[in-house]
A = this chain, B = another copy of it.
């Protein structure tokens, strides 16, 4: 997979530390756990724009994931400081597409790339809907 080679309209760096329970017997962070890291980074990116994803859900809008892709280049180890760089290239409408770079900070290595697409959904009807204006205004 490739992250688009153009200027993102949003970029956000989130830092976290890998937990023991996230490693597996190979000594690497388990491949499914990256999606939890992406979710945490995405939430903080949204919060940095003054929007709480939790508040959005309370307002009746859900954001289920419809597509995800991951490329694992180098392993992540236990207790590493990890930078998750989230980028958005297109203004969200009914869909929010997010890209991720996973960097092991101390080793200064790009360890993985990712993409996650989510769709806006009315939580009552569970049907797709447009992104609320208070959300999209930050992406213009």
Contact = CB atoms under 8 A, between A and B. Distances in A.
Interface string A57-73: 10000101111111111
Interface in A21-48: 21, 23-28, 30-36, 39-40, 43
Interface in A101-123: none
Contacts of A52: 79
Q: Can you tell how many copies of this chain the complex includes?
A: 4
Contacts of A67: 1, 69-72
Is the contact region of chain A dominated by helix, strand, or loop, or is it mixed?
mixed
A53 interface: yes
10 cross-chain pairs, A with B, having the tightest CB-CB distances, nearest first: A32-B35, A23-B25, A54-B79, A31-B65, A25-B27, A69-B69, A21-B30, A68-B70, A21-B36, A32-B32
